[in-house]
Every structure is written in C-alpha cells, then in structure tokens.
Amino acid sequence: ATMPPLLSAIANAGRHGVLVKSAVVMERLGQTDAVALDKTGTLTEGTPHLADLCPLPGSGLTEDTLLSWAAAAERDSEHPLARAVVDAARSRGLPLPDADGFSSTPGLGVTATVEGRRVRVGAPGRLLDPAAGPPAAPAVDEGARRPGDAAREAVRQLEGAGRTAVAVLVDGRPVGVLGIADRLRPDAAQAVAALTSLTGARPVLVTGDNERAAGLLAARTGITDVRAALLPQDKVGAVRELEAAGRKVLVVGDGVNDAPALAAAHTGIAMGRAGSDLALETADAVVVRDELAAIPTVVNLSRTARRLVV
C-alpha cells in the first residue's frame, strides 16, 4: 500500500529533524496563519553566558560572593539563565554555599535560603519595583542613593547593551545585578523571513525578557511585533488575541514558561535540544535538532499533504 499523504509528511518532517506527534497535528500545521515565537532558547541558542557581575556599592559583597550566592539559589533551576549563573560560579572555582527551600516562579525567577538568608534571583522589572516588592530596607551606607536606585541604574546600563539583566536580592534588599548574554541562532532571520512569506503574517515575539533586550534582538531577526515582560499567562493572552482575530496560531517555545501558550495554540512546537520536559511534552511537535528553518519547511510539508488528502 502507498502511505497516506499525512503519514509520509510525518516521515518527511522526521528527515528534517522535526518530530510531529500525530497525523492531526501534521494536518493542522499547514493551516498556520500567525506565528508567535519565544526569545530565550528559541530565537537564541539558549546557552547564555554570564557577561557582567555588578555588586551594588554598599552591599559589602565582592563579585565572587555575589556570584556564589546567586549560583547557590539557582542550583536547582532548569532555566537557561540559571545554568549560566551556576556554570560561571563553577568555572571560577567558587564554592557554592548550601541552599534549601528552593522555589521557582516561571517568568520571574527563583528563591532559596542560603546560609539563613532569603536569596531571590530574577526579573529586575518585578523584583526591583518598589510598588511590587517588600519595602526597600533603609540604606546602611551614607550614600545618597538607595540600593534599589543603584540596582535600577545598573539594569538600565546592561539592558542598553543588549544583556538580559537579573537582579539578586538578599532578605528583600537588592545586592547586585548580573548581565547575561545569549547568541542569536544563525538561522533565526532566515526562518522568520520564510514564515512571513509562507503565512502572510509577520511573526510576533513573545518573551518574558525586558523590552530593550527583546527589541534589539527582534530587530536582528526582522520581527517588528514585540511583546515583552510577559508572564506565562500573558503569552496565552497573546495567543488568544490572535485567535480572536480569526488566526490559527503556531507557538514556538522551549521553556516551562511557554507550556501554557504551547497548549493553548492551534499548534505548538518545542525546541528539543535544551527545551524543558514540560515544553516537550506539551508541544504538538518537537524540533529535535533545534533548526528553526525546519519549521517553515514542515508547515510547507503539511500544505502539500493537505492538497493530496481529499
């Protein structure tokens, strides 16, 4: 017997390094007329590295102490930013103090108890927002600025340089900021261009990262529609908004924070190499070799197969 078109399309997608989980998914992919892409780990390689260490004046911390405390708190997180922090501490040969009471909030960051102190590492927009966080402790040094001001200034500088800035707080008080750099995938711009011409719609960037880093990166890929500082449920909101406009949305992501949007979308594709287990399980298809350019190829395979299915 000759193979039904959708099954041969699945086999073909496999040859391009994309694992499509069912014939239904194979069929739906070709209907895509809107695409929402995550940034960290999706458009970027997702193996970010620590580039800057900024202990705040008045924190009394050295670069090494700041890094070892942050790494201790991040040790149990599977987020790519956490790995960058832990790897940097290891490569400097720093001892990691014991941490317990670890918890992580997708899109925000982590909290753990390190040597009896509550250490938080995560999104500066929220951790340093005086309206959202605990009241800033009064400055112990005689400096004119409070630690939150110095932290926000460091964040501004790092983000202006295209870094992802991460804030470190000890017992609610900002003590330092880390700058993390990530590389754009080499085929990101090509994939965005192919998806644009294939779907007739401009892909949207949906990211938990800051506006500046997201905007700089989007410009390098040809994406003009940028939604930044999104929590996982905000990514779902972006999908629903496109659906309300009658679109069939393809979401591409890698993180735990992308799982709700991957589930909500018409179709969801996860980046396989460094993708979180939750994203891989939730997605309808997995790009096993992390080639973004394989995504438009598979949408096209679906279109061809659909023409053969009567």
Is residue 108 involved in binding ligand ADP (CB under 6 A)? yes
Answer for which of 221, 257, 267, 282 binds ligand ADP (CB under 6 A) is: 257
The least CB distance from residue 90 to Mg ion, in Å, is 23
- Residues 207-239: b if buried by 16+ CB within 10 A, e if exposed: bbbbebbbbebbeebbbeebbbebbbebbbbbb
Q: H-type helices in the chain, by residue range?
A: 5-15, 23-29, 63-74, 80-91, 124-127, 147-160, 188-199, 211-221, 232-244, 259-264, 277-282, 294-308
Answer for which of 12, 32, 40, 111 binds Mg ion (CB under 5 A) is: 40
Is residue 81 involved in binding ligand ADP (CB under 6 A)? yes
Type of residue found at 45: E
Query: Which residues ranging from 112 to 141 are in contact with ligand ADP (CB under 6 A)?
Result: 121-123
Is residue 109 involved in binding ligand ADP (CB under 6 A)? yes
Q: Give the CA angle between residues 188, 192, 197 to the nearest 5°.
A: 150
Residue 260 binding result from ligand ADP, Mg ion, none, given CB thresholds of 5 to 8 Å by partner type? none
Q: Which residue is nearest to ligand ADP (CB)?
A: 208
Is residue 35 involved in binding ligand ADP (CB under 6 A)? no
Residue 296 binding result from Mg ion, ligand ADP, none, given CB thresholds of 5 to 8 Å by partner type? none
Answer for which of 5, 30, 41, 125 binds Mg ion (CB under 5 A) is: 41
The least CB distance from residue 125 to ligand ADP, in Å, is 8
Residue 276 binding result from ligand ADP, Mg ion, none, given CB thresholds of 5 to 8 Å by partner type? none
C-alpha pair distances (Å), 166 with each of 13, 201, 298? 38, 33, 36
Structure tokens at 63: 């670069």
Distance (Å, rounded) from C-alpha 21 to C-alpha 50? 36
Residue 208 binding result from Mg ion, ligand ADP, none, given CB thresholds of 5 to 8 Å by partner type? ligand ADP
Distance (Å, rounded) from C-alpha 167 to C-alpha 148? 10
Residue 149 annotated to the active site: no
Q: Dihedral of CA 44/45/48/52: which sign?
A: negative
Is residue 168 involved in binding ligand ADP (CB under 6 A)? no
Report, as residue numbers or ranges, the catalytic residues: 38
Which residues contribute to the site for ligand ADP (CB under 6 A)? Answer: 38-41, 74, 77, 79, 81-82, 104, 107-110, 121-123, 164, 166, 207-209, 255, 257
